[in-house]
Amino acid sequence: MSSYDTAPPTTAPAALGGKIEQRSVGYIPANERYGSPWNQFTLWFGANLQVTCLVTGALAFVFGGDVVWSIIGLFIGQLAGGCVMALHAAQGPRLGLPQMISSRAQFGVYGAAIPLVLIVLMYLGFSASGTVLAGQATAHLFHAPEWTGIVVFGAVSAVFAIIGYDIIHKLGRWATVISSIAFIYLIYRFFVVADVNALLHINEFSLPSFLLAMALAASWQIAYGPYVADYSRYLPVDTNPRAVFFACLGGSVLSSTIAMTFGVLLAAYVGDGFRHHEVEALVSLGSNAFIASVIYLVIALGKLCVNVLNTYGGFMSVSTIWSGLRGKTEIPPQLRVFIIVIMTAVAVTVAMWGRGNFLDAFSSFLLFLLTFFTPWSAINLVDYYVLSKERYDVPALSDPNGRYGKWNAAAIISFVLGILIQLPFVDTAFYSGPLVERLGGTDISWIIGLIVTALLYLALQPLDKRIIPPETILPPAEPEPTEPPA
């Protein structure tokens, strides 16, 4: 039996008064919905116009690409991955649930824990890598050891994640404004000090480098897929899904394109000195010490925005595993704090351990992630838009004995085979598939993973014993809070 009747009621949306968010992975009732698609644009614009995105773009040049075709490849990858990401975002208002809860409709209530474990590792990796760069910026700003910047930044990220949804969107709006001003200044300064025309003449097409650029950008966007609906689930039920799609796509792709393009140009301008000195290379564009300090502060703010997303998303994923195994729809507030603190401690520890070799480790991590999350995205999107046609039984998502069962063999087999089918085409620093060399060193695993996994999932539907509801079934409305007697 579903436990929606035991979900604790809340008397106000998370927005009111900036209170700590009361909801976790449970359904958001209609009377607690608020906001508009514009909030999605500013959140994802602010989350991407920051230094890690810039460094990701720079990798296309650092690892052998030219300038012109790296920029073009990055943009194509942004669009391809951004469409996948935005299709996930459009599910939020419709279902009123965080992203990974809906995976129970495909994998089963228990089976959804399989991709979730990998996704938790993703959040830890992104949090750790982001904390390295923010720690560098914070340490330079206050003339302190780098480890102190890492610890302080991790603690601040945890506090924002504990407060929750509303403050995250406010942080995104502030980051959009402040980072936009900073990047306009930095780009202006770059055109002053660099011969941009000469850099744009670094134009030697290489198919492996071009596809590497596409993979870097696509992986950046697709990696948002497992948590993008976490930040759209409070939107009103009648919000137009197309508006959510284009708001997320526009905010994420526009800002990422600016940051990654700038990263390619900056890496080409600085040369070998860019490696292991990414933050210093960016800050060196400042015209004086005061401006440099402001840039360090902006870098820390931009990283705070995206790091809070990773911390909050990790908390939601762990909560989804816990609630699914326990048959619950919400978690106690104390457990919320405990999960966030533990994940932050792990991310900070990894950041301090791996900060000396950040760039190489991060690039390998980012590319290898694609191997696991591309099949998940393919299964989720095919099921939601093609098979179920946006019709889910929301209460049954918390009932292992209900419509979706404990395990769904069709999704689990497709997911595992989708990972395995990519391995011959994967090319990272620590693993290179047997077909990579035959393809001239080209990594096309993410393209193979999307197409083949989708076809496998459709072909294995005879194993799928679910009964798709004729229309979306939502939990019963919660009673309105009553005033106590005078």
Percent over 70 (pLDDT), the chain: 90
Would you say residue 395 lies in a domain? no
Would you say residue 409 lies in a domain? no
Would you say residue 192 lies in a domain? yes
Would you say residue 403 lies in a domain? no
**Do 86 and 99 contact (CB within 8 A), yes or no?**
no
Listed range (75-79, 113-117, 386-390) with the worst mean pLDDT: 113-117
Give whole-number Cα distances, 335 to 27, 99, 125, 331, in Å: 18, 20, 22, 7
Would you say residue 5 lies in a domain? no
Q: Which pLDDT tens digit goes with each residue over 259-310?
A: 999 999 999 998 877 876 777 888 888 878 888 888 888 888 888 888 898 8
CATH at 56: 1.10.4160.10
Contacts of 199 (CB under 8 A, 6+ apart): 67, 265, 268, 269
User: What are the tokens at 153?
Assistant: 């930044």
Provide the residue range defining the domain that includes 44: 35-363
Would you say residue 427 lies in a domain? no
Select from 310, 39, 23 the least CA-distant residue to 153: 310
The answer, yes or no, to whether residue 410 has pLDDT greater than 60, is: yes
Angstrom distance (rounded) from CA 329 to CA 103: 14
Angstrom distance (rounded) from CA 415 to CA 421: 10
The answer, yes or no, to whether residue 368 has pLDDT greater than 80, is: no
Would you say residue 426 lies in a domain? no
Give whole-number Cα distances, 449 to 77, 150, 210, 258, 456, in Å: 15, 35, 19, 27, 10
User: What are the tokens at 251?
Assistant: 């905010």
Residue type, 400: P
Alpha helices (H) along 90-164: 91-95, 103-107, 113-142, 146-163
Q: What is the pTM of this model?
A: 0.86
Select from 420, 435, 411 the least CA-distant residue to 113: 411
Select from 188, 219, 142 the least CA-distant residue to 447: 219
Angstrom distance (rounded) from CA 237 to CA 383: 21
**Do 25 and 170 contact (CB within 8 A), yes or no?**
no
Select from 195, 192, 222, 247 the least CA-distant residue to 82: 222
Angstrom distance (rounded) from CA 70 to CA 210: 6
pLDDT at 486 (0 to 100): 47
pLDDT at 364 (0 to 100): 67
Angstrom distance (rounded) from CA 217 to CA 382: 22
Listed range (36-45, 121-130, 356-365) with the worst mean pLDDT: 356-365
Q: What is the mean pLDDT of the chain?
A: 85
Cβ neighbour number for residue 195 with a 10 Å cutoff: 10
Which has the higher per-residue pLDDT, 350 or 95?
A: 95
Would you say residue 404 lies in a domain? no
Q: Which pLDDT tens digit goes with each residue over 147-185?
A: 888 888 889 999 999 998 999 999 999 999 999 999 999
The answer, yes or no, to whether residue 186 has pLDDT greater than 80, is: yes
Select from 251, 252, 245 the least CA-distant residue to 223: 252
238-270 burial code (b ≥16 CB/10 A, e <16): ebebebbbbbbbbbbbbbbbbbbbbbbbbbbbb
User: What are the tokens at 312?
Assistant: 């909050």
CA 472 centroid distance within chain:
27
pLDDT at 233 (0 to 100): 93
Number of structural domains, the chain?
1
Alpha helices (H) along 327-392: 333-354, 358-381
